[in-house]
Structure 1
Amino acid sequence: MKDYSILLYYCYSPIADPEAFREEHHLLCLELNLLGRIIVAAEGLNGTVSGLREDCEKYMATVKADPRFKDIDFKVEPSEQHVFTKLHVRYKPEIVHSSLKHLAPQEKTGIHLSPADFKKMKDQEDVVLLDVRSDYEHLVGKFKNALTLDIENFRDFPEKVAELEPLKDKKVITYCTGGVKCEKASAFLLEQGFQNVYQLHGGIIKYGLEEGGEDFEGKCYVFDNRLTVDVNRVNPKVISRCYICQEPSDRMVNCANPTCNIHVPMCEACGATMEGACSDTCKHDPEKRPYNGTGYYQKETNGYNPFKGLYRKEKK
């Protein structure tokens, strides 16, 4: 059994004083030696963290003990080590930047489908699978026959919905990495007059964990040191091609030129030849980072302080 766990989770539930809660939550994570990224907003909580299995279990029990988060759905993946090097617990206006602040998914959103129900329904003739992730995410992996949108960020999703008008008579199932984007995407589709809107509860990650990931082609992009993870244990397939040589490759990298930093598939051979850069211009850029063979570049940790952000003083 692996000693570490990776947790992916979210919960839309009102938090009366999110800034005070952010501080309490930050302290909890420090006490449990967790690393990762957590966003706290008035509308809820969204995070992905890693830690020792026992510490992660304590964290999940503590969060679920709060009545506001009793229904939170943790996706738990075993790991041999931390997949983060820092802890950031931040207060923001939304738990996912969506430009849809007026929507409250806990009040109205698409029908949640369990991974098992999603598997039964996804291939029906009147069903459309809608990927609501960014283009660099679905470039490296998506469900077979899914409809993808050309968006750089989720906040661009509302502008693309007009293109989906011909699908209003279909059953639309949205999906994303862990489910959080689907909550507002589905709610917005309903607001725009779509009648039969569903969402894959727990996202791609939960579908892989519970149903083996059948028909998810390629790899799933994740927001930690791993960059991508395998999901499909049933009928895996590589769908992406190396940005340089166009040979099949699902190895995702960030361009070694920090000014560029695009997310693209790149095979190991081209990674070595190009020193992790996506072009000759980037390869010879004076700011290019030393290629470490992975294509993942951790932000500078100089001066990193895990207690940064704990601004409040004890009341006298």
Structure 2
Amino acid sequence: MSILNISAYRFVSLDDLPVLRERVLAQCEALALKGTILLAPEGINLFLAGSRETIDAFIAWLHEDSRFAGLEAKESLSESVPFKRMRVRLKKEIITLRRPTIRPEGGRAPAVDAPTLKRWLDQGHDDAGRDVVLLDTRNAYETDAGMFPKAVDYRIASFTELPAALAADQSRYAGKTVVSYCTGGIRCEKAALHMQDIGMKNVYQLEGGILKYFEEAGGAHWQGGCFVFDERGAVDKTLSPAPPLPSGERVGVRGQSCDAPASERGFDCHSAQALLPSPQPSPQRGEGETHA
């Protein structure tokens, strides 16, 4: 596979957005890259595809700006470019939550890396002996492609619905360690800060999201693929384009799996699967085409 796909984000204050947009777009076009980049006052969020040489050239160019010097990309490969064009868009937020007091640039919530989370899941508790609750911060159509089977899945239609879901269910997390996760880290970073803001304790974000977990932990404890916001639809645990899941392996609802006994599920798998669109639906355009 000759095409390199990257996803990356960085929370950093940007105040020259129109000029920056033109510079970034010109550089991408000069390198014949395809994908989507979002720019907002709070930072940058990008998914790009091209050859190894052109992607490396773009990242090197971006790192020349001190604001993006710490930006790190998650990588995956494909046979063809999974984007039709190159877009650089200006947004109010690089990931929409509508909670202006949450400013990740000012300080991150604690993070847990992939090997540590795998070890916690292997042993059934964190290093302090607390139960670990995984919180999926993604949209419902993403969790339908794959998830940690025991994770909390609120079946949200957009990230902005997460605060209300947490407010109605906060007691679930009392006395436990909570790890929020998402595709590449951006949503779980904001989610973890929000959980701290509302007084939740022992909150972590999964460093680098699902894509970094696949890379560093081999996808242990994961079921299915990981939805990505391009024409691949999803990637598997090897970060290769994922085939559609057989119906018997389809992830169910609210963190429960369709291959679990019916008495343990609390829902009808056939009914749940009938609601799943085919092919996979497009992302919510109001949230921006690029998530992580």
TM-score, with length taken from structure 1:
0.73
- What is the DSSP-based 3-state SS (H/G/I as helix, E as strand, rest coil) of the residue aligned with 1:190? helix
Corresponding residue for 1:202? 208
- Residue 241 of structure 1: CA displacement? 7.2
195, 213, 219: which one aligns with 1:213: 219
Q: Is 1:264 paired with 2:269?
A: no
Cα 1:141–1:21 change in 2 (3 A) is same
Q: What aligned pairs does 1:1-316 form with structure 2 within 5 A after superposition?
A: 2-122=1-121, 123-124=124-125, 125-166=130-171, 167-231=173-237, 239-240=249-250, 264=276, 266=278, 295=279
1:5 is aligned with what amino acid?
L
Contact 1:6 1:78 in 2 (8 A): yes
Contact 1:51 1:82 in 2 (8 A): yes
State the alpha-carbon separation in 2 of the partners of residues 96 and 263 from structure 1.
Answer: 27
Corresponding residue for 1:259? none
Corresponding residue for 2:269? none
2:131 is aligned with what amino acid?
D
State the alpha-carbon separation in 2 of the partners of residues 19 and 41 from structure 1.
Answer: 10
Corresponding residue for 1:288? none
2:203 is aligned with what amino acid?
V
Cα 1:34–1:232 change in 2 (3 A) is closer
State the alpha-carbon separation in 1 of the partners of residues 46 and 202 from structure 2.
Answer: 29
Contact 1:109 1:190 in 2 (8 A): no
- Residue 65 of structure 1: CA displacement? 2.7
Runs of 4+, deviation exceeding 3 Å: 236-239, 295-298
State the alpha-carbon separation in 1 of the partners of residues 108 and 84 from structure 2.
Answer: 35
1:31 is aligned with what amino acid?
A
Contact 1:8 1:74 in 2 (8 A): yes
User: 1:100-156, CA deviations, whole angstroms, 9 ceiling, x for partnerless residues?
Assistant: 232111223321222112212243152110000011111221013111112100111
State the alpha-carbon separation in 2 of the partners of residues 216 and 265 from structure 1.
Answer: 22
The answer to which structure has the higher helix fraction is 2
Q: CA RMSD in A?
A: 2.5
1:171 is aligned with what amino acid?
T
State the alpha-carbon separation in 2 of the partners of residues 197 and 149 from structure 1.
Answer: 18
Name which one, 1 or 2, has greater alpha-carbon Rg: 1
TM-score, with length taken from structure 2:
0.79
- What is the DSSP-based 3-state SS (H/G/I as helix, E as strand, rest coil) of the residue aligned with 2:38? strand
- Residue 165 of structure 1: CA displacement? 1.4
State the alpha-carbon separation in 2 of the partners of residues 117 and 241 from structure 1.
Answer: 24
- Residue 47 of structure 1: CA displacement? 0.9
- Residue 296 of structure 1: CA displacement? 6.8
State the alpha-carbon separation in 2 of the partners of residues 4 and 110 from structure 1.
Answer: 34
User: 1:59-108, CA deviations, whole angstroms, 9 ceiling, x for partnerless residues?
Assistant: 12222232111221200112222110111100000001111232111223
State the alpha-carbon separation in 1 of the partners of residues 251 and 184 from structure 2.
Answer: 25
Aligned length: 250
- Residue 263 of structure 1: CA displacement? 8.8
Q: Which runs of 5+ in 2 are unaligned?
A: 240-244, 253-257, 260-273, 283-292
Corresponding residue for 1:281? none
State the alpha-carbon separation in 2 of the partners of residues 190 and 72 from structure 1.
Answer: 24
2:228 is aligned with what amino acid?
V
